[in-house]
Amino acid sequence: MASPQLNPNLYVKPIFEESDGTTHEAASVALLIGKVAAYRKRQGIEAGSATKDVIEQLCNRQPTLCKWPASAPRPRQKAQTKGELNKRILDWAASIAEKYLIGRLRFIRSRLEVERRFKICSSCPRAQHWASSCAACRAEVARLETEIKAPLGPMGIRFDDAEKLNGCGVLGEDPRVSIFLDEQKVASSNLPTGCWRRA
């Protein structure tokens, strides 16, 4: 049976739980797969395919972030709570901040495009209010995003209305930042028609 595939243009937190209860975490999915394979070898655990196991577990955890072949039906995902989206957005903001710090984050240069995206996200049925009881998570997201958005003023694309946007319930991203980024579009039927992130 064909397996699901991670969408390379989306962030998924690289964590894997081994059958013996050990949790592995790494900076990227590729590093995670290497870590799992090495651990299995050391422990004498039947190796199987670390790549397949890791990807299947990540996809089962976040089905909307993967491509599912017809022969591998997508698992149902229970409704996402505010706290879960809060955590996803925190992880996403951390990954974007890391990209920013190593100089790999690109911004779009068109204020008109920022406003177009803003309008779409403002009326999107998949936008979700996410600020939950985790004050520390909110504070950390705010800290990271202030850092990421620092160049917007000098670039002439600062747009304070962006702060009114809710989270993206599909991608686990924060449109208050994502509408300024020059990221790859995403081929996913989970995204609504008209979504500016949809390929």
Q: Is 121 in the site for ligand SF4 (CB under 6 A)?
A: yes
Angle in degrees, CA 156, 162, 165, rounded to 5? 165
Q: Is 151 in the site for ligand SF4 (CB under 6 A)?
A: no
For ligand SF4, the binding residue among 114, 124, 157, 177 (CB under 6 A) is: 124
The nearer residue to ligand SF4, 40 or 117, going by C-beta atoms, is 117
| Contacting ligand SF4 within 157-186 (CB under 6 A) | 168, 170-171, 175
Q: Which residues pair with 66 in a beta bridge?
A: 6
DSSP string, 159-180: -GGGGG--EETTTTB-HHHHTT
For 158, counting Cβ atoms within 10 Å of its Cβ (0-12 exposed, 13-18 middle, 19+ buried), the class is middle
The encoded tokens of residue 47 equal 């190796």
CA-based end-to-end distance of the chain: 27
The nearer residue to ligand SF4, 35 or 111, going by C-beta atoms, is 111
Tell me which stretch binds ligand SF4 (CB under 6 A): 41-49, 58-66, 124-132, 151-159. 124-132
Q: Tell me how far, at minimum, the Cβ of 191 lies from ligand SF4, in Å.
A: 5
For 82, counting Cβ atoms within 10 Å of its Cβ (0-12 exposed, 13-18 middle, 19+ buried), the class is middle
For 9, counting Cβ atoms within 10 Å of its Cβ (0-12 exposed, 13-18 middle, 19+ buried), the class is middle
The nearer residue to ligand SF4, 18 or 113, going by C-beta atoms, is 113
The encoded tokens of residue 65 equal 């972030």
The nearer residue to ligand SF4, 32 or 178, going by C-beta atoms, is 178
For ligand SF4, the binding residue among 29, 32, 33, 127 (CB under 6 A) is: 127
For ligand SF4, the binding residue among 37, 120, 131, 134 (CB under 6 A) is: 120
Q: Is 197 in the site for ligand SF4 (CB under 6 A)?
A: yes
Size of the site for ligand SF4 (CB under 6 A): 13
Cβ proximity of 111 and 157 under 8 Å: yes
Residues of this chain that interact with ligand SF4 (CB under 6 A) are 120-121, 124, 126-127, 168, 170-171, 175, 191-192, 195, 197
